[in-house]
Structure 1
């Protein structure tokens, strides 16, 4: 029994020495981490043109109960463009300029009129945003508001993305019915994520989109309407001819 005890004691002592040596030479083992990104084709919701990191719900300025038209799906999308409302005006024989109402949002506040686009293709491939007034203002009875012109002022690009804003931003322009107008263009290396073009800021939002109407134009009682078509294209910057006066 003593022999057994001694042997046992010796074995314990040896085991302790071996464990002490293992602490001095720790083993290592590496593992990997993987993430894969795929194209997102979901519709992107509107964000705040004064704080692009926050979502907002725009309201139609002519009919608060009317649902806002949803944005386009796909990895390169137009998410929202403000409907322009120039108010109810008196017939006047003089030249007049009517400012568009600022963009109302849920919560009782207003924002600058704006258009929002999103590039979720992956990378910074570049794109161009243009707008066209399809035809002159007219009534349901086809009475045309001859010579009327929509103008945008104080245009600027804003984003919450780490990607650069577009290098071409047309600050001021007037629409010619039937003609395309470059609004902003992102070169390669720019424009990823959600990018916004807004007309004015919180101070100038109520006076940055205007409708000029000649006094000599005959006006008929009733509502005049026009449509704007916004087009977002995958086009390199050097293929787009921006407004030289911008």
Structure 2
């Protein structure tokens, strides 16, 4: 069957007994009126964490309330226009998003962090911390190896476990009973399910997330794929422009199937949204320019294929192939001339901001 995996003042007075008859005189000081103390409350805003669903419907008034924005005079309070737009867009496949927030009045400025996390994350009631992890299916050999080596870093890679703070700080979550979990994984057989609980930190066990690790004798997994590919800022040239992007994550496939059970696999990529001109918030401009036909892929650095709405072959492994971890994009760059790249002829080079989208498809059959 073909499968697709698409943060007081104390006053004291001493009275002495007088044993003399001498007259004592003293000047009586003038007592001034009480001084008035004025306290000015500066503009302030609190860092917070919210879920993606909350972010997608967030309004300025809601954010003001959630951040406990306070000040002496909030008349004319303003929020940076892109904050709500960015929050409403959501995570777009990322694990989290740290949005810098600036509130201003005519005389004051307050800056804070708005951290978005996935709906699956557990967020503290004060919105100051969160922990998240995902259930995962691992091949038996990988599960056993993780357990034997007590490799939490590798386990976290698969469960995507992280702890978040409202200031945007991200750190590893902590296994509640590491020894117990690693022992279970070391001895796990096919179809075993190992429940794992992550705590926010070793010192703070009040916030936890539990997930299941399901073990199989072998599987094909799309381990990671880029959610963002950036070409940065390019200069218009009087000749054809070629540029290779940077990736926030590599394109990685993990195949743990035994050779005699391995049906092979194929990776494809296609353009789901062509590169089009957008405004500063990433919204496509009506009547804006387009770079259709400017994205290409080369597997060997020589032959190339233009990306379109049709699938383009990226990599294929034959049936019976020994499994492993395949980092397909590790050598995609301008030096090797391999991978996805942008090639814009002079006639299409116009100064603007462009955005588009790609879809990666992993199939558990080899290509024809």
Structure with higher RCO (Cα < 8 A, 6+ apart): 1
What is the TM-score normalised by the length of structure 2?
0.34
